[in-house]
Amino acid sequence: MPLDVINKASAREKSIRHGHPSTLHLWWARRPLATARAVLFASLVDDPSEHEDKFPTPEAQQAERERLFEIIGELVEWENSGNEEIFANALAEIKKSVGEDLPAVFDPFAGGGTIPLEAQRLGLKAYASDLNPVAVMINKAMIELPAKFKNQLTNLSAAIAARKVLPMIFSTTANF
């Protein structure tokens, strides 16, 4: 695993103040998104040594491994969190190993929701639960509700942009 690049991206997240789940609600045991993203990807994508038919020599396997590490390196960058091309590419790599029938990810101790959020971002079905009702609320707000109302929100944003809807709720805080 390209640990240096994963560690660097994970450490950098501590200082990100815009758009990061840590700004939604304080959670004392929040795990870095970059680490979860890398671990989920690496758990699902086979090491090239599993496919000696395609990569028969140690050199060919290492070259393929380096290519996969580059994908991880791109994935873990915070700025790439919304990059559809990079995530589509990552999902295509996952499908090469697991097929079209993607496994779901279940985090029974989801806490701040890092693992289900990143599973969902990678295109997997994500399940989360927790003993603590605050954690359940964070997961609902961050994972369940945005996915459920994604299309309505897109339509609403487009309507606001086209001035078909008056953004009353924002009018006291934002300058339209």
From CA 14, how far away is CA 4, in angstroms rounded?
16
Closest to ligand SAM by CB, 99 vs 108, is: 108
Closest to ligand SAM by CB, 65 vs 140, is: 140
Min CB(26)–ligand SAM separation in Å: 11
Min CB(25)–ligand SAM separation in Å: 11
Distances (CA, A) of 95 to 83, 101, 102, 123, 171: 19, 8, 7, 11, 45
**DSSP code, position 108:** T
From CA 76, how far away is CA 34, in angstroms rounded?
5
Min CB(21)–ligand SAM separation in Å: 9
Min CB(68)–ligand SAM separation in Å: 24
Burial (CB < 10 A; 0-12, 13-18, 19+), residue 41, is buried
Closest to ligand SAM by CB, 27 vs 69, is: 27
Residues binding ligand SAM (CB under 6 A): 27, 29-31, 108-112, 114-115, 130-132, 135
Closest to ligand SAM by CB, 29 vs 168, is: 29
Q: Read off the tokens for 16.
A: 């990100």
